[in-house]
Amino acid sequence: MSDNIQLNAEPRADSGKGASRRLRRSGLVPAIVYGGDSGPRSISLVHNKFNHELENEAIYTQLIDLNIGQESEEVILRDLQRHPFKNRILHADFFRIDKKKPIHVVVPIHAVNTEECIGVRSDGGMLTQVATEIEVICLPKNLPEYLEVDVAELHLGETLHLSELKMPEGVEIVALTYGEDHDSGVISVVKTRLEEIISDEAPEALDEEGEGEAEGEEGSEEPSEGGEEASKGTSEE
Convert the pLDDT of each residue in 144-194 to its tens digit. 999 999 999 999 999 999 999 999 999 999 999 999 999 999 999 999 865
Residue 45 sits in the same domain as residue 114: no
Total domains in the chain come to: 2
Domain encompassing residue 145: 103-193
Given CA atoms 24, 53, 63, 183 in this order, what sign does their dihedral have? Answer: positive
Residue 70 sits in the same domain as residue 19: yes
Rounded to 5°, the CA angle 41-142-149 comes to: 120
For the stretch 186-223, pLDDT in tens is 999 999 865 555 666 655 555 555 554 545 554 444 44
Does residue 16 lie within any of the structural domains? yes
8 A C-beta contact, residue 96 and residue 34: yes
Least confident piece of the model among 12-21, 31-40, 91-100? 12-21
Residue 129 sits in the same domain as residue 157: yes
Residue 107 sits in the same domain as residue 68: no
Please state, for a pLDDT cut of 70, what percent of the chain lies above it. Answer: 80
